[in-house]
Amino acid sequence: MTGKNVLIVYAHQEPKSMNGSLKNIAVDVFSKQGCNVTVSDLYTMKFNAAATRSDITGDLCNPQHFSYSIETKEAFKKGCLSEDILEEQRKVHEADLIIFQFPLYWFSFPAIMKGWIDRVFVQGFAFDFPGCYDTGLLKGKIALLSFTTGGTEDMFSKEGVKGDVKYLLWPIQHGILHFCGFQVLAPQISYAPEYVAEAKRRDMLIKWAQRLENIWEEPPIDCTPSWYFH
C-alpha cells in the first residue's frame, strides 16, 4: 500500500483522549505501510466551522440576496474560495482514503467537523447535479467513520434506549459520504471508553490497529436503505 494517501480529519480537543489514541494508531499503522498520512487536526487548526460570506474572496454573484450554495459553487469554479477551504480541498483531492475520527456529539459529528463538511464539500468540488451518489465527484475515494460514544453497545442496539446505531449513520454515511460518491467502509465504533476498564480500552485500540492492517482489502458496505433499516 506504499504511496497511498490517507487523510485523517480529527476532531478532539485533548491529545491524551481515546480519540487522540485512535488517531495516533492510524497514523502509525499507515506510516508503517508506506502511506502518506495527513492529519487535519481541526481544534488545533482552529478550523472555522461557520459557513459565511467570508468564504468567498472575490465579488459575490448576488450580494443583495446571499446564497451560500450558489456563491460557493461559483467561487469554486473561479478559484475564489478562502484559502483554508482550498487547502482542505487539496487534501481531499489527493486522498485515497479519508478517516473521520471524532467523539459522537448529539448523535452526530462535533460542530467543528460538521463545519468542515459544510465548507469543504461544496457543489462542483464534491458533488453536482448530475454528479451525486454513485456518480458523486469524490468517487474512487474511500471513507470511514471512526468514533467513540458515551453510550454502550447495548444502548445502541435495535432494542436499546438509543436505537440501532445504524439509524444515526444514515445521514452521515448516506447523506454526506455516499452522496459525494465515496465508497463507505463499515464504521469503527469504540463504545463508551470512559466507562470501561483500561484493559478493554487497550483491546479497542488493538482491534483498530489490526483492522487497519488489512483495510485496503475491505469491501465497502452496501450504502442502501436495507443496510441501515432492516
Ligand X SMILES: Cc1cc2nc3c(=O)[nH]c(=O)nc-3n(C[C@H](O)[C@H](O)[C@H](O)COP(=O)(O)OP(=O)(O)OC[C@H]3O[C@@H](n4cnc5c(N)ncnc54)[C@H](O)[C@@H]3O)c2cc1C
Q: Which residues bind ligand X (CB under 6 A)?
A: 12, 14, 16-19, 21, 103-107, 148-151, 193-194, 198, 201-202, 205
Q: CB 107 → ligand X: shortest distance, Å?
A: 5
Phi and psi angles of residue 214, each rounded to the nearest 5 degrees, phi first? -115, 20
Q: CB 108 → ligand X: shortest distance, Å?
A: 7
CB-wise, 90 or 202, nearer to ligand X? 202
Q: CB 155 → ligand X: shortest distance, Å?
A: 7
CB-wise, 83 or 198, nearer to ligand X? 198
CB-wise, 125 or 147, nearer to ligand X? 147
Strand-pairing partners, residue 190, are 148
The DSSP bridge pattern shows strands 142-148 and 183-184 to be parallel
CB-wise, 102 or 127, nearer to ligand X? 102
Question: CB of 82 within 8 A of CB of 55?
Answer: yes
Amino acid at 16: K
Rounded to whole angstroms, the Cα distance separating 208 from 8 reads: 14
Q: CB 167 → ligand X: shortest distance, Å?
A: 12
Q: CB 117 → ligand X: shortest distance, Å?
A: 17
CB-wise, 1 or 111, nearer to ligand X? 111
Q: CB 149 → ligand X: shortest distance, Å?
A: 4
Phi and psi angles of residue 95, each rounded to the nearest 5 degrees, phi first? -75, 140
Rounded to whole angstroms, the Cα distance separating 113 from 42 reads: 7
**Torsion sign over Cα 142, 46, 38, 80:** positive
CB-wise, 56 or 168, nearer to ligand X? 168
Return the SS3 of 84: helix
Distance of CA 202 to the CA centre of its chain: 24
Q: List CB contacts of 30: < 8 A, sequence separation 6 or more.
A: 1, 4, 6, 37, 212
